[in-house]
Amino acid sequence: QDKSCSTGGCYSSSLFEDKPFVLENGETLTGIKAILANRMTAVRSALGYDVFISASELDREPGEFVGLLRECQVARLREQA
């Protein structure tokens, strides 16, 4: 987050990191794929998650949403068994 942003809602230039991204297999990503890969790496480093969803964006209470995610995970595991 931009430290000079008075509202805390400003976009950081790091969201648009356009440097190449090298995958584990040695393949180099550029352009929009590299931007996304760099952004996901930064989010994982900062938050410990690959995806962040604000509670204000949910259509239900956060605890209910977590329950829904767990139900989906259990259903997926059952299908794989």
Across the chain, which distance is largest between two alpha carbons, in Å? 51
Cβ(28)–Cβ(22) below 8 Å:
yes
Q: Give per-residue pLDDT as tens, 26-40.
A: 999 999 999 989 988
- Rounded to an integer, what distance in angstroms lies between the CA atom of residue 32 and that of residue 40? 12
Residue 2 has pLDDT above 60, yes or no: no
Residue 65 has pLDDT above 80, yes or no: yes
Band (7; pLDDT cuts 50, 70, 90): confident
- Rounded to an integer, what distance in angstroms lies between the CA atom of residue 15 and that of residue 35? 8
